[in-house]
A and B are shown apart, each in its own frame.
Chain A
Amino acid sequence: MNFIDRRLNPKGKSLANRQRFLRRARQQILKAVREASGDRSITDIAGGERISIPMDGLKEPAFRRAVQGGMRDHVVPGNKDYVEGDLIPKPPSNEGGSGSEGSPSGEGEDDFRFILSRDEFLDIFLDDLELPDLIKKKVRHSESFALTRAGFSVSGSPANLNLMRTMRNSLSRRIALRRPKPHELSELEAEIRLLEESGDDPERLSELRVEFDAKVARTRRVPYIDPLDVRYNRFEAVPKPVTQAVMFCLMDVSGSMTEHMKDLAKRFFMLLYLFLTRRYRHVDIVFIRHTHEAREVDEDTFFYSTETGGTVVSTALEEMKRVIKERYSPGDWNIYAAQASDGDNTSSDNSHAASLLADTILPVCQYFAYIEVGAEYKDWLGRETDLWRTYKVVAKPGGNLAMRKVRVRSQIFPVFRDLFSRERADHG
């Protein structure tokens, strides 16, 4: 008998099958994921998800006999009081196999339920989205460096000494130059001493002495380790793409913003956050809310505490500028900003906001998204708001300022997609 422990075999043997399955069910899963994400809060959007998808396209058809019709004989156990010739009324036909004959396959196959891992969920959720202008900006802004191994060098700091290489060089040089080995010397010495004590062969003794002196001299001339042998590990500094990002959430919290609008904004921020966490190792969020004055706040305050006042957008931009200057140097950070507003602004502020945005904010940002949220049932009549008109002047085709309008929850994702879709990234 062979007894084999397979527990340490590589795991995830079925991963390739799973990938094939997800690829196959892509359309259905995509739809289910979208639906599932519609009603979730910011904290658990990225958790693993049990989803349920319809079976179209996932059926494995075969020629099977129909469940209904024809003449069938069954043999069943557990007869209690039936005798030959008894008639048992059939259950109503629309209930199918719920009677005593229960269908052998048991489970219904209308829907297929299974669990998606967090990564799979996000992959599908953020499918095809790309960061706009990512590469271009990265290279331009790369100011951090990482050391990578780059072979060996003959100079360097003692900490980088490569012992293996050094000793290997030393050994080959010693062999090549015939440096006497320690045991040769000690053997010679022992023989000399023997001859000295016995005094037998003075000729041989003097010969040996000459040889010994020559060897000692050679040992001295050929050092054990020569500066020539020494090798150091060489490291090269390569520019490292910035893998951290900061995301600014700007929101108008003046009285004109309803809960509904805030909810829309929150969902947009949530998506952006998720998206950035996929692409960057580290993502900071800064929440800045403003009325007629702006303040950096924490998430709870940002979304839930109420405040009243006028609306001066430039204050938020000023605040963002200040935070960037203090904490997020554009060289080290990829900066993203998303602004949500209902479009109101004090008209005297418009030109200030526009110039601030165009001259200070946009040049350091990777991307600035402006989302104008509207009331659900409000008729828009195509009227453009103050802020929309202001920003429209600044926005250039192919630039890094994007603006969209959102009115209902279901529009959030399409708008987000629209902003970050791959084609757009290609144009940029």
Chain B
Amino acid sequence: MAELLFDGADWDFDKVRRTYDAVEDIARKECGLDIYPNQIEVITAEQMLDAYSSIGMPLMYKHWSFGKRFAADETLYRKGMRGLAYEIVINSSPCISYIMEENSMAMQTLVIAHAAFGHNHFFKNNALFRQWTDARGILDYMEFAKSYITHAEERHGHQMVERVVDAAHALMNHGVHKYPRKRGYDLREEQRREQERQAYFQQTYNDLWRTVPKGPGTVQGSKDLAERKKRLHLPEENLLYFLEKTAPKLAPWQREILRIVRNISQYFYPQKQTKVMNEGCATAIHYYIVTRLHEMGMIGDGAFMEILHSHTNVVFQPEYDDPRFSGLNPYALGFGMMQDIKRICEAPTAEDRDWFPDFAGNGDPFGTLRAAWTDYRDESFIQQYLSPAMIRKFRLFKLHDDAEAANYLVDAIHNERGYREVRKALAKTYDISRMEPDIQIVDVDLAGDRRLILHHRVTHGILLDEDEAVLVLRHIANLWGYEVRLIEVDAESEMTLREYDDVAPSINLG
């Protein structure tokens, strides 16, 4: 048996360092984690509130909305209605984890395992993060953003800057490039693709297609339209990008602010899509590590109980009829699935072998998990790994809600017929394109009144929240400088479901 790492609740720097080393040992040797270098920072409750209000970033430009969030959080905290998170971790290299000074030593152990190893590994390895975020550059970029906006405020006045930032924030969710950036062309790759295409064409050649009459579309107007759309790269779903590049009236500094907000939004884009996995990964890792530490006799029973208590609170999932219910808890679902994958690797049932022939019983739980953490996001992860055992354990059922109907319909439950249905539906609820409306800029009448036309491509008949949409349209109009029109179009039938009145700019930003 190894010696206890610490005794009692108080922490000091020595104990934390010793514990960190012990945790690192397990994380690297037993779990095979691959992490950014760690930087652990001790902060006070007030500083934690600070970090909260500026969406978890240690450096953030000044804006009233962060002040508002701080006031709200502070009020709740003071009233005792809400505790603070034990940690905040930032996807950067070195990976910064904030831990609170109020935490007991047992909690610090948990937090280090959770944030400095769990989240850290996920940030470094998950494909989405690798593709979209630059962990090394983010802190420098935030520093730049902060000082740029401060300078802009000094030069152009608080109010002018505030108007631009307000407008940019309103479009933050629509300032993301959802597809990988263009790469440089590779000659050999191009040749190979060309050959493949040629081969496919020859395989599937059918002379019949030649006889199919050509559709309309040779009209002059639609040709112009196509030409214009092509020139402006329309349709464009990255509204901030479009406005930054194309809005006729903006000053260069205003474009730069749009760019800053857009880049920050892009930075957070992977986090939105990996909540379940990210938390599941961190929770599974801290659970494994502290359990191992306890088994090896490095933490005492008392500390272990304290950790378990807090762990259980975090992964608690109230049922749908519980007053505490507010949707699925990403920690509970994530942790449950990770544990389930481990079980399938180590002790699979016949059912598991049927469902997961790839890895059932392979005896390498961490290898399997690491592969999952690398290549998936929430939607695909659930679609791939949610097992019937988990569906039974959570007693998940699918509810169909048609606004026209008087009742909810229970579509599928945890039975043989329902598993796949439930799994598919659950995966879809984590699909980012289902969570956020699909808004596109489809046309600009450059020759006429320069009106910007946006479409909301409606799926399943779910329209936009009208009051808010009008407010956002006003922001867009202010940035664009001319009128803006929004039309909600059904994505399948192309039918116009609702048209908004044209919104004119309310203030002149120029």
Contacts and interface: CB of A to CB of B under 8 A. Distances in A.
B418 interface: yes
Nearest to A1: B38
Question: Most B CB atoms within 10 A — which of A50, A75, A77, A115?
Answer: A75
A66 B463 contact: yes
Contact of B399 (A60, A63, A66, A74): A74
A117 B468 CA distance: 32
A131 interface: no
B464 A3 contact: no
Contacts of B411: 73, 84
A5 B42 contact: yes
B43 A6 contact: yes
B396 A86 contact: no
A225 interface: no
A16 B321 contact: no
Contacts of A78: 318-322, 325, 394-395
Given A63-B469, A66-B463, A66-B466, A71 B39 contact: no
Contacts of B42: 3-7
A115 B78 contact: yes
Interface string A171-182: 000000000000
Which of A60, A73, A88 has the most C-beta atoms of chain B within 10 angstroms of its own C-beta?
A73
Interface string A112-140: 11110000000000000000000000000
Nearest to A114: B71
Contacts of B49: 14
Interface residues of A, number: 63
A106 to B, nearest CB: 6
A101 interface: yes
Chain A contact residues, majority secondary structure = loop
A45 interface: no
Contacts of A89: 406-408
B234 interface: no
Q: Is the interface of B mostly helix, strand, loop or mixed?
A: mixed
Given A65-B463, A76-B397, A115-B78, A19 B472 contact: no
A69 interface: yes
Interface string A78-114: 1110111111111000000000111010100000111
B397 A71 contact: no
A22 B67 contact: yes
A323 B395 CA distance: 83
Contacts of A4: 39-42
Given A17-B66, A67-B465, A70-B463, A82 B406 contact: no
A204 interface: no
A75 B75 contact: no
A21 B325 contact: no
B65 interface: yes
A396 to B, nearest CB: 41
Nearest to A72: B401
A3 B475 contact: no
A87 B397 contact: no
A84 B399 contact: no
Given A1-B40, A3-B13, A14-B53, A69 B403 contact: yes
A18 B69 CA distance: 9
Nearest to B172: A62
B396 A18 contact: no
B418 A90 contact: no
Most A-side CB within 10 Å, residue of B54, B158, B321, B410: B410
B428 interface: yes
Interface in A236-269: none
Contacts of A14: 49-50, 53-54, 66-67, 70
Contact of B328 (A9, A50, A75, A86): A75
A124 to B, nearest CB: 14
Nearest to B402: A71
A16 to B, nearest CB: 5
B413 A74 contact: no
B410 A16 contact: no
A396 B19 CA distance: 80
Interface string B5-40: 000000001001100100010000000000001111
B259 interface: no
Nearest to A10: B47
Contact of B44 (A7, A73, A76, A84): A7
A77 B328 contact: yes
A106 B94 CA distance: 35
B400 A62 contact: no
A383 interface: no
Contact of A106 (B326, B394, B399, B463): B326
B54 A102 contact: no
Contacts, number: 258
B68 A82 contact: no
B439 to A, nearest CB: 6
A348 interface: no
A107 to B, nearest CB: 9
A58 interface: yes
Interface stretch (B192-200, B207-215, B454-462): B454-462
Interface residues of B, number: 99
A378 interface: no
A134 to B, nearest CB: 29
B201 interface: no
A50 B75 CA distance: 9
B318 to A, nearest CB: 8
Best-surrounded residue of B426, B462, B469 (most CB of chain A within 10 A): B462
Given A7-B43, A73-B401, A78-B395, A65 B462 contact: yes
Interface string B382-417: 000000000000111111111100111111111101
Interface string B411-442: 11111011000100110110000001101000
A24 interface: yes
A67 B403 CA distance: 10
Contacts of A72: 400-401, 460, 462
B398 A73 contact: yes
B67 A82 contact: no
B238 interface: no
A85 B410 contact: yes
Contact of A62 (B162, B325, B456, B468): B468
B74 to A, nearest CB: 7
Nearest to A89: B407
A3 B162 CA distance: 37
Nearest to A65: B462
A88 B410 contact: yes
B64 interface: yes
B416 to A, nearest CB: 11
B410 A84 contact: yes
Contact of B71 (A7, A18, A100): A18
Contact of A86 (B13, B71, B318, B410): B410
B397 to A, nearest CB: 4
A3 B99 CA distance: 11
B439 A79 contact: no
A75 B429 contact: yes
Interface string B304-330: 000000000000011111100111100
A60 B65 contact: yes
A14 to B, nearest CB: 5
A281 B319 CA distance: 60
Given A61-B170, A101-B401, A20 B38 contact: no
Given A20-B62, A82-B397, A87-B408, 19 more contacts: A17-B54, A18-B70, A19-B67, A22-B67, A50-B75, A60-B170, A61-B471, A63-B437, A65-B462, A66-B462, A66-B465, A69-B461, A69-B463, A73-B398, A77-B317, A82-B413, A87-B407, A88-B408, A90-B406
7 closest A-B pairs by beta carbon, nearest first, are: A78-B319, A21-B67, A70-B462, A17-B67, A61-B471, A114-B71, A70-B461
11 contacts: A1-B17, A6-B41, A9-B43, A14-B66, A14-B67, A60-B170, A62-B472, A70-B463, A73-B428, A78-B319, A79-B413
Interface of A: 1-7, 9, 11, 13-14, 16-25, 50, 58-80, 82-90, 100-102, 104, 106, 112-115
